[in-house]
Amino acid sequence: MGWLDTPEDRRRQHVQVIAGGNIRDLDRIHERNRRRSINAIFWFLFIVSGLLGWLMFQTGLIKQSFYLFGFALLFLVIIIFRYGWNRKLRLPRRQGRSSRHGDWEKLREVPSWVPRKMKRRRSNHINGEHFRYKREGNVYYRKLK
């Protein structure tokens, strides 16, 4: 198999590696393109099943439209998890807790066991009975668990 018989993509890869590119860069590019094509397929299926479901709902085929809406919802959930939007979601806090539940509170004094336990464990974070303590420099903070 000669140089001219190889596929165009292979030739471009070879030239890129010779010209100073890295084979890991090529792998990352292939992986990115693969992820994009899979995401495009999920978006296409989401939109098509949603539109077909809506059209069937308008024409009176209620049962079949609910199946298509179910598929659209399934593809929407898959898309949300593939893009990582579920990690960026901020849900409202429950009413039983204060609004500053997750905030770190700066302390003037800490219990005597906190610095000893941090020194023994060689860590700047430790868990107490009700609070989590951390040290940044010479300043101690705590927050409710």
Per-domain residue ranges of the chain: 8-88, 105-144
Residue 79 has a pLDDT of 93
Residue 69 neighbours by CB under 8 Å, 6+ apart: 49, 50, 53, 57
Task: Assess contact for 41 and 60: CB atoms under 8 A.
Answer: no
Query: CB-based burial of residue 67 (10 Å sphere; 0-12 exposed, 13-18 middle, 19+ buried)?
Result: middle
Q: What share of the chain is helix, strand, coil (3-state, %, to 5)?
A: 60, 10, 30
From first to last of the 145 residues of the chain, give the pLDDT tens digit: 565 566 666 666 666 666 666 667 777 888 888 999 999 999 999 999 999 999 999 998 889 999 999 999 999 999 999 988 877 777 776 655 554 556 889 998 999 999 999 999 999 999 988 899 999 988 999 998 8
Residue 13 has a pLDDT of 66
Residue 87 has a pLDDT of 79
| Distance separating alpha carbons of residues 96 and 108, to the nearest angstrom | 28
Residue 17 has a pLDDT of 60
Residue 102 has a pLDDT of 63
Per residue in 35-60, pLDDT (tens digit) is 999 999 999 999 999 999 999 999 98
